[in-house]
A and B are shown apart, each in its own frame.
Chain A
Amino acid sequence: DQQVKQNSPSLSVQEGRISILNCDYTNSMFDYFLWYKKYPAEGPTFLISISSIKDKNEDGRFTVFLNKSAKHLSLHIVPSQPGDSAVYFCAASVSNTGKLIFGQGTTLQVKP
């Protein structure tokens, strides 16, 4: 039951360039989407979220784009920094208090 999918297990970018992480979902009932960052042996750390009434949300270097018709969201990190190297999970829920359904994660490596 893969309602949320991250098809790229890994991504490598050069410091200063843009990182684009992608996520697809199948459940049209989802109305809240989030990106988390995770280091080994730590819990997921919230990065940014977007509700289904918006198509873009920006917070500093992080921007999330939502394309509801394509059931696709993406996270842009500009400029990428070595400290951004981690596993990034997208997640979705039917409401902001509901259970989160996570993707498999994308490991981002930002090279100095």
Chain B
Amino acid sequence: EPEVTQTPSHQVTQMGQEVILRCVPISNHLYFYWYRQILGQKVEFLVSFYNNEISEKSEIFDDQFSVERPDGSNFTLKIRSTKLEDSAMYFCASWGQGSDTQYFGPGTRLTVL
């Protein structure tokens, strides 16, 4: 069964450093999303991406964040200068025609020290 994959599974970085989180959505899907879950809190929407552009973003998704689909398979989330409060699980999701739902990847745990 097709699935969304994410790398790395765990990323540790120093405050102020740039990180890139990578996702490979399901191959025929057209809509892509990033969500995050801070420990003990709810899953929060960050951004959605369709037709090579951002379709919607939350107030969390400020100028420090960017997304890109550099080729036909990868979907990346970049945080330019990480803060302590960026520590969270980051989930990528994708949706395709005929899907009941957005399918989520296993997540990347980002730890900012």
A residues near B (Cβ < 8 Å) are 34, 36, 41-46, 49, 89, 91, 96-105
A residues in contact with B53, CB < 8 Å: none
User: Do A102 and B43 touch (CB < 8 A)?
Assistant: yes
Q: B91 is contacted by which of A44, A98, A105 (Cβ under 8 Å)?
A: A44
Chain B CB within 10 Å, residue with most, of A98, A101, A104: A98
Residue in A89, A100, A102 with the greatest tally of chain B CB atoms within 10 Å = A100
* Interface flag for B56 (CB, 8 Å): yes
In this assembly, does B48 line the interface, its C-beta being within 8 Å of a C-beta of chain A?
Answer: yes
Stretch of B12-20, B69-77, B79-87, B102-110 lying at the A interface: B102-110
Interface of A is mostly: loop
10 tightest Cβ-Cβ pairs between the two chains A and B: A43-B104, A99-B45, A46-B101, A102-B43, A44-B104, A104-B42, A43-B106, A102-B42, A43-B107, A49-B100
Cβ–Cβ < 8 Å partners of B48 in chain A: 97-99
Partner of A43, one of B44, B45, B58, B105: B105
A67 to B99, CA, bound (A): 24
* Bound Cα distance from A100 to B107, whole angstroms: 16
Cα A82 to Cα B41 with chains together (Å): 25
What are 24 A-to-B residue pairs whose CB atoms are below 8 Å? A41-B107, A42-B107, A43-B4, A43-B93, A43-B104, A43-B106, A44-B104, A45-B104, A46-B102, A46-B103, A49-B100, A49-B101, A89-B43, A96-B100, A96-B101, A97-B95, A98-B56, A99-B33, A100-B35, A100-B43, A100-B102, A102-B42, A102-B43, A103-B42
Within 8 A of A (CB), among B35-79: 35, 41-45, 48, 50, 56, 58
Apart from A42-B106, A46-B100, 4 more pairs, CB < 8 Å: A41-B107, A43-B4, A43-B91, A97-B95
Known: A41-B107, A96-B95, A100-B45. A34 touches B56 (CB 8 A): no
> Could you tell me the distance between the alpha carbons of A49 and B101 in the complex, rounded to whole angstroms?
8
Measured CA separation A99–B44 after assembly (Å): 9
* A25 to B101 alpha-carbon distance, docked (Å): 19
